[in-house]
Structure 1
């Protein structure tokens, strides 16, 4: 149950970030910037999920 909430929160945060980036930046810059932010966000989300799941297994 908690895992689903984390995934949902992460997905919503990612979508909101991409929409905000597309809205605030010009079209030419937006594609590169959105791709970069998407990549960084995915890395952070993956690391956080790994750390949380590892912490739950050990405790």
Structure 2
């Protein structure tokens, strides 16, 4: 049970950190298309990892 909670907390912390980094980057960097795509890909990857781990636990 403790391990599950740590995994959930870690996933949420990663997503929150990525969102904060996107907010706090300067306008020049935030407007860069490659940076935007990379940040979006990281958010999608972390969300997918969380969903897959949850799916495995329920089966």
With structure 2 as the length reference, what TM-score do the two structures score? 0.49
